[in-house]
Structure 1
């Protein structure tokens, strides 16, 4: 995984896991890698992975079973809600970027529609 220096690593790792959940790469109830395994996979400190899992658990995205590991939520409504939250964040980021370029929201949406029709 390549990291963006403008965002904390633990947030980038959490977002990567969330993306895997909403895209179906990680299915509901799937076991997440152990802290050590994910630390190796993402080339980050195990303490960072623990922070990621704790944050995801607080958000209701995953849960931990003592002695068994950490698992993706089995609640399909939570996964749907997470997908909508992530989509909203992307849309807000896009619109803010377009406004910085001098486009109104209506113009930005018009450009999207034009791009889609081509």
Structure 2
């Protein structure tokens, strides 16, 4: 698949406590908020996502339906699901950070439970971010 295919951007973790449909919903919300999925952008078909990630098509359909109900996606006849034209990327950093806050709180709880000091947890988080940075040049 080409790198621009949104299917590749989905990071499905089947063993995570968060249901798979919720993982898809949250990832699409973040991709739209960041502008990586622009209005009018086509999403891969239910079947393509299900096959690429070996998940039930009904799970993908449920996620797409929830996103459509939220007004983030629209069904375009003959094309499939697209990002709704009325949606604009979230330009304010505070709004984008609000989408990240639940995950940060969960990781913070885990660090406290593991007895990891804040400075070490922050360093580990920075290292994880750096390893995923698409703008980082391969040295």
The reply on whether 1:3 has 2:20 as its aligned counterpart is: no
Superposition pairs of residues 1-118 of structure 1, within 5 angstroms: 3-5=13-15, 6-74=17-85, 75-76=87-88, 83-102=96-115, 108=118, 111=119, 115=123
Runs of 4+ that moved beyond 6 A: none
TM-score between both structures, scaled by the size of structure 2: 0.58
| 1:96 Cα deviation after fit | 1.8
Aligned length: 111
Which segments of 5 or more consecutive residues in structure 2 lack a partner in the other structure? Answer: 1-10, 127-139
Task: Give me the CA root mean square deviation.
Answer: 3.3
| 1:83 Cα deviation after fit | 3.0
Which segments of 5 or more consecutive residues in structure 1 lack a partner in the other structure? Answer: none
Q: Which has a greater percent of helix? A: 1
Q: Tell me the alpha carbon deviations over residues 28-61 of structure 1, each in whole angstroms, 9 at most, x when there is no partner.
A: 3201112222222222222111101011223333
CA distance change for structure 1 residues 112 and 93 in 2, over 3 Å: closer, same or farther? Answer: same
* C-alpha separation in 2, matches of 1:25 and 1:2: 18
TM-score between both structures, scaled by the size of structure 1: 0.65
